[in-house]
Amino acid sequence: MSLTRLDMVDVGEKGITAREAVAKGQVLFSPGTIRMIREGRIPKGDVLGSARVAGILAAKKTPQLIPMCHPLSLTQIRVDFEVGENSIEITSHIKAKDRTGVEMEALTAVVVAALTIYDMCKGVQEGISISNIRLVMKKGGRSGTKGRVDER
C-alpha cells in the first residue's frame, strides 16, 4: 500500500459556532492499588493531579499529535475522575468556538490522562489495563448534538 494523499480539510468557509465534546475511558487496577491512590501512597506522587494536568496539556497539543487536526481556540478543558473499587473512570469535557469539532481533543485528553495514570502506578502493580475509551457526546456544527445511546 502506498501513501498517495494526505489533506487537511479546508474549514475556512464554515461558520464559527459553539462546539463541545465529552469523552470517557477507564484504567483498571487491583483494589490494593486503588487504595494506595486514594491514600496518596503512590511513590511518584499525586496520580490524579498529574493525570489532570497531562490531559489538559494533551488537549491543547492535539494538532501536534494528530496530523490532520486543526488547531482550535479551546475555551474550556475539564478532566475529571471517578475512583471506583478497581478502576478510575476518566471524563474529559472540551468546549470551543470554532469551525470544526473538538472530539479529537476530548479523546486525546482521556488517552493521555490514562497513560499518565498507568505511568504513575506501573511500579506498584503489573497488569494495569486501559480500556473503553470512547466519545460519549458531541455538540455543535452541522450535525448538531450526538451521543452514545447507552450514555445519554
Cα separation, 113 vs 101, in Å, equals: 20
Calculate Rg over the CA atoms of the chain: 17
Question: Which of 10, 46, 80, 119 is flagged as catalytic?
Answer: 119
The CA distances from residue 147 to 18, 90, 138, in Å, are: 16, 17, 6
| Catalytic residue status for 119 | yes
Report helix, strand and coil shares of the chain as percent, to nearest 5.
30, 30, 35
Tell me the residue type at 131.
S
Catalytic positions, please?
A: 119
